[in-house]
Amino acid sequence: MRIALVTDAWVPQVNGVVRTLASVTDRLRAAGHAVEIIAPDQYRSIPCPTYPEIRLALAGPRAVGQRIERFSPDAIHIATEGPLGWAARRWCLRHGRAFTTAYHTQFPDYVERRSGIAARHIWPVIRHFHRPAATIMVATETIRAQLAAQGLTRFSHWSRGVDIATFHPDHAPPDLFLSLPRPIQLYVGRVAVEKNIEAFLANSHPGSKVVVGDGPALDGLRAKYPSAHFLGRMTGNALASCYAGADVFVFPSRTDTFGLVMIEALACGTPVAAYPVPGPLDVLSDKAGAMAGRIEDAIAAALVLDRADCRRHGRSYSWAASTEQFLSALHPVECGAQITGLSPSIA
């Protein structure tokens, strides 16, 4: 199959959306499918206000449509609600091409946190963007219900996976961890206001706080919380060693749709502490995480969980299954029939 994937989030960005799309794309290509990525690095772009690491492509429907037409896809997936996503959507509607979308990001909440514009003013834009899609791919039932409450009706389940060859408990901890007071509380992800990291850094539970990641809020948080340890961006085995060496992984976000970092931590045997909000409510189990209205209470409860149970729960998420779900949700560009059947070589 030939799949055109239009996304405003792509390398060199480091976030859950990019990791999800890259992981699924790799497996699709390994199974013999052709995937054309249409991303900001193919066009002139400008930095996103308040988040310069994200580039906003300066491309309209004609430029994006030309790439789609040259590739001649069997299916078109629009991953994000950014400039490329809107351009591809407009081109598809203008030319009568079916497409699918995905709801990766709680965009109304992000805008509210970053700009002060109330989320209720952003929801009409989200509804308008996704309503023409043949199906909207969602990672959890909570997000499906949230979008259904907004009047959207066509959904497909698309979960996430974890690379168990990399994320496992057998990594030696970083040298820094050997000298830190326990328990070591770890955060991994974008260092940005919508991630609510300050709730983690300000929590009163004893121990050491470690932040792995980069982003626009990094300098301010480093200055405000000098006792915390900011290690910057990490990937692969270096990241896995942080997960495996921590006593608890703290996920303070209230605006994520899933939280890929949670299952990576769990696969390394590290329990997760979080708020009882979308994402954690769907991903965590009683044996592999703790949720509470006070993050200190969630941390205390997570610290007594069995790390073997955490590892089993994290390993239950598979990129092979995620790729199957993605492919089965696609629709042919020329009709509304659902595409099914994935090569058994996907792994």
pLDDT digits (tens, 9 = 90+) for 227-286: 999 999 999 999 999 999 999 999 999 989 999 999 999 999 999 999 999 999 999 999
Q: How far is CA 120 from CA 157, 207, 275, 291, in A?
A: 25, 39, 22, 27
Whether 14 has a pLDDT exceeding 90, the answer reads no
Exposed e or buried b per residue across 200-209, where buried means at least 16 C-beta atoms within 10 angstroms of its C-beta:
bbebebebbb
| Tokens representing residue 243 in the block | 């997960």
Mean pLDDT for the chain overall: 93
Across 117-142, average pLDDT: 96
Condensed to tens digits (0 to 9), the pLDDT of residues 159-217 reads 999 999 999 999 999 999 999 999 999 999 999 999 999 999 999 999 999 999 999 99
Burial of 320 from C-beta contacts in 10 A (0-12 / 13-18 / 19+): middle
| Helix pair 83-95, 119-130: axis angle to 10 deg | 40
- DSSP, collapsed to helix, strand or coil, labels residue 66 as helix
- What pLDDT, on the 0 to 100 scale, is given for residue 85? 98
- Letter for the amino acid at 10? W
Spatial neighbors of 36 by CB under 8 A, at least 6 apart, are 2, 3, 4, 5, 67, 68, 71, 73
Residue 339 DSSP symbol: P
What are residue 37's phi and psi, to 5 degrees? -90, 125
The string of DSSP letters for 201-238 reads HT---SSEEEEE---TTHHHHHHH-TTSEEEE---HHH
- What pLDDT, on the 0 to 100 scale, is given for residue 342? 41
| Tokens representing residue 320 in the block | 């092979």
Binning pLDDT at 50, 70 and 90, where does residue 135 land?
A: very high
> What is the Cα–Cα distance from 36 to 29, expressed in whole angstroms?
10
Across 308-317, average pLDDT: 98
Across 310-323, average pLDDT: 97
> What is the Cα–Cα distance from 344 to 288, expressed in whole angstroms?
31
Burial of 219 from C-beta contacts in 10 A (0-12 / 13-18 / 19+): exposed
The three-point CA angle 101-107-112 to 5° equals: 165
| Tokens representing residue 342 in the block | 């994935």
- What pLDDT, on the 0 to 100 scale, is given for residue 343? 39
> What is the Cα–Cα distance from 5 to 19, expressed in whole angstroms?
14
| Beta carbons within 10 angstroms of residue 258's beta carbon | 25
> What is the Cα–Cα distance from 189 to 201, expressed in whole angstroms?
14
For the chain, how far is it from start to end, CA to CA, in angstroms? Answer: 17
The string of DSSP letters for 272-331 reads EEE-SSTTHHHH--TTTEEE-SSHHHHHHHHTTS-HHHHHHHHHT--HHHHHHHHHHH--
- What pLDDT, on the 0 to 100 scale, is given for residue 246? 98
- What pLDDT, on the 0 to 100 scale, is given for residue 347? 36
- What pLDDT, on the 0 to 100 scale, is given for residue 48? 83
Burial of 121 from C-beta contacts in 10 A (0-12 / 13-18 / 19+): exposed
Looking at the chain, which residues constitute the CATH 3.40.50.2000 domain(s)? 2-161+319-329, 175-315
Counting residues of the chain whose pLDDT is more than 70, the rounded percentage is: 96
Choices 3.40.50.12660, 1.20.140.70, 3.40.50.720, 3.40.50.2000: CATH for 2-161+319-329 = 3.40.50.2000
Binning pLDDT at 50, 70 and 90, where does residue 54 land?
A: confident
Q: Is-contact 45 18, C-beta < 8 A?
A: no
Sign of CA dihedral 253, 286, 244, 320: negative
Q: At the top level of CATH, which class does the domain 175-315 belong to? A: alpha beta
